[in-house]
Amino acid sequence: MLSKLRSRLLVASLATSLSWTAANCAVAQPPATADSSTPTQATTTQEQAADKTVDIGVSLEKLQSLADAAHQKFKDDTDGKNADYIPELAKIPSELFGVCIMTVNGDVITVGDVDYSFAIESVSKPFTLSMLLRDDGYEAVLEKIGVEPTGLPFNSVAAVELHKSAVNPLVNAGAMASVSMVDADSPKARFEKILSYFEEFADDDLTVIDSIYESEAATNWHNKGIAWLLDSYGKLYADPDEVCDVYTKQCSIGVTARQLATMGATLANGGQNPKSGKRLLPTDQVPKLLAIMLSCGFYDGSGQWACEAGLPSKTGVGGGIVSVVPGRFAIVGFSPPLDEHGNSVRAQNAIKYIAEELELSLFNGRN
């Protein structure tokens, strides 16, 4: 409700910005509104968020021009193919393409289809992991799931069989182990806890895309197999069928590139949401989460991504990718056609282009 009010104000703010930018892109300031149910508290956090202006090392105009250039450069690239092992994903228009950047100051850069709600899929995994790092801490994640890259596809049974564990939280096995560790009395409560945590990250209302959920729930035998295999090694911490169902629902949550950019910017901002000012993850856990995203976020494409973009990132078969530039901003790309690893082709190319132009790789020593 409140988020909807904020969204409306954001739209109004965008309309103003549009007067000086191209019709399909905009630079927007975060909306200066307060939460009407808790006016005093919300005003305080908004003011805190507005007070803080971090030097992000690049102008908003430059970021906008790079986002525009990336969109222009890759919008006609028809490489890749929508995921079709989840039948509903094959029906999403392949030409959709959006790029959104949110800075740690809450400034937003957009171009293209940034308000289309797509299935978050595996981009959900680091955010559930974030809850575990907050509630149980890194040692528990290390012991109960693991933090090593598998070098294998996201749904690899071989990785589980080889290591007798989920290996890391960003492959399907580890994401289901993560879901099973969320402390809740029932599957329904577990899902609601995850959803509301994601909403805090997005600073907006989020809902499950029912058609995607139903499509994946009717075809997710492979994931059910992984859940039961993990259970057989004592590495799943709740009922396998229930866990797989909550995981499937988590993957079917709809997000826009704009909402996902807010989620990523919260990680770039040391775990504090730049729009709401709310802390969602203790600062000392953020480097752990980002390290896991860098080493495992692209599955068996993680090494190449680390070489070519050098940014902690997470991809999903819905076509979304979020990349985090710590202390500065998050870049989100969204476009459904995927490469052979299940990562969006246009989104990868757009993020890589911006990262190269601004020398954003964490390994160049200038961040």
Looking at the Cβ atoms of 241 and 359, the one nearer to ligand GLN is 241
Question: What is the spatial distance between Cα 272 and Cα 193, in angstroms, rounded to a whole number?
Answer: 18
Looking at the Cβ atoms of 302 and 361, the one nearer to ligand GLN is 302
Tokens 């960003």 identify what position? Answer: 170
Q: Least distance from C-beta 366 to ligand GLN, angstroms?
A: 32
Q: Least distance from C-beta 148 to ligand GLN, angstroms?
A: 18
Q: Least distance from C-beta 234 to ligand GLN, angstroms?
A: 22
Looking at the Cβ atoms of 251 and 263, the one nearer to ligand GLN is 251
Q: Least distance from C-beta 252 to ligand GLN, angstroms?
A: 8
The secondary structure of residue 76, as a DSSP letter, is: T
The residues of the shown chain that bind ligand GLN, judged by CB under 6 A, are: 121-122, 154-155, 172, 216, 223, 251, 316-317, 342
Looking at the Cβ atoms of 14 and 338, the one nearer to ligand GLN is 338
Q: Least distance from C-beta 45 to ligand GLN, angstroms?
A: 32
Locate 154 and state its tokens. 């996201």
Is residue 122 marked as binding? yes
Nearest to 326 by CA among 259, 248, 272: 272
Is residue 247 marked as binding? yes
Looking at the Cβ atoms of 223 and 295, the one nearer to ligand GLN is 223
Is residue 317 marked as binding? yes
**Cross-strand pairs, 323:** 313, 331
Q: How far is CA 278 from CA 79, 134, 323, 362, in A?
A: 40, 14, 21, 26
Phi-psi sector, 35: left (phi>0), alpha (psi -120 to 50), beta: beta
The answer to whether 166 and 157 are in contact (CB under 8 A) is no
The answer to whether 355 and 321 are in contact (CB under 8 A) is no
Binding residues, as ranges, are 122, 172, 216, 223, 247, 299, 317
Which positions make up the binding site for substrate? 122, 172, 216, 223, 247, 299, 317
